[in-house]
Amino acid sequence: MAGLFITLEGMDGAGKSTHIPTILQLLASGGREVVSTREPGGTPLGEELRELLLHREMHVETESLLMFAARAEHLQQVILPALQRDAIVVSDRFTDASYAYQCGARGLPMHKMQQLEQWVQGELQPDVTLLFDVPVEVSLQRLASARTPDKFEAQGAEFFARLRSQYLKRAADYPQRFRVIDAHRPIEEVKKTVEEIILSI
């Protein structure tokens, strides 16, 4: 496939949303088509599933299956067609979030996630994943002063600690694809790092 698939990851409160406009602007200046999307969501069905996923309590297996149902729709309707026409796809979260939230933080066995991943995506992986990383306390502080939390944002420090360590483990396991960004710095500095990474790819 000719396109470029970039994903953005991090704990809630890590600040990734702040930097999405910069990323999109820089990529678009290269002249190629840029598709900006998000998970869970990215399609009309996926956005309906997002409402359930972010606000309804459910068993972690149900949650994982619904995440991948939304992802299957997203891949078939949006991501694969865009990559096939040579576009750059930027997805605000993808399967690394499922490993971090459903396996790392909520305890779904890894082999079940691997089965879902294999079924829904086959060999497809992002080309580059930007991981916005902050210490757990920073993330919790930022969330405390933000809008009404969704189901995941309302979790406590232990959940966030498991989440962060799973994200960092994946970054260590797949160093060729991950760029870990220290997001516990002034916004301008983080922005500069993000720009350097985007220009380098």
Q: Which of 93, 162, 164, 179 binds ligand TYD (CB under 6 A)?
A: 93
Local structure of 162: helix, strand or coil: helix
Q: Which range in 76-84, 97-105, 170-178, 191-199 contacts ligand TYD by CB under 6 A?
A: 97-105
Site string for ligand TYD, 147-186 (x = CB under 6 A): -----x----------------------------------
Q: Rounded CA gap, 65 and 185, in Å?
A: 36
Q: Which of 27, 37, 92, 129 binds ligand TYD (CB under 6 A)?
A: 92
- Tell me, what amino acid is at 107? G
Closest to ligand TYD by CB, 67 vs 190, is: 67
The residue whose two tokens read 């309906």 is 48
Which letter does DSSP use for residue 7 in this model? E
Q: Rounded CA gap, 1 and 41, in Å?
A: 23
Helices (DSSP H) in 145-186: which residue ranges?
157-173
Host H or E run for residue 190: helix 187-200
- Minimal distance, residue 31 CB to ligand TYD, in Å: 28
Q: Which of 19, 23, 39, 79 binds ligand TYD (CB under 6 A)?
A: 39
Binding site residues, ligand TYD, CB under 6 A? 12, 17, 39-40, 54, 67, 92-93, 97-98, 101-102, 152
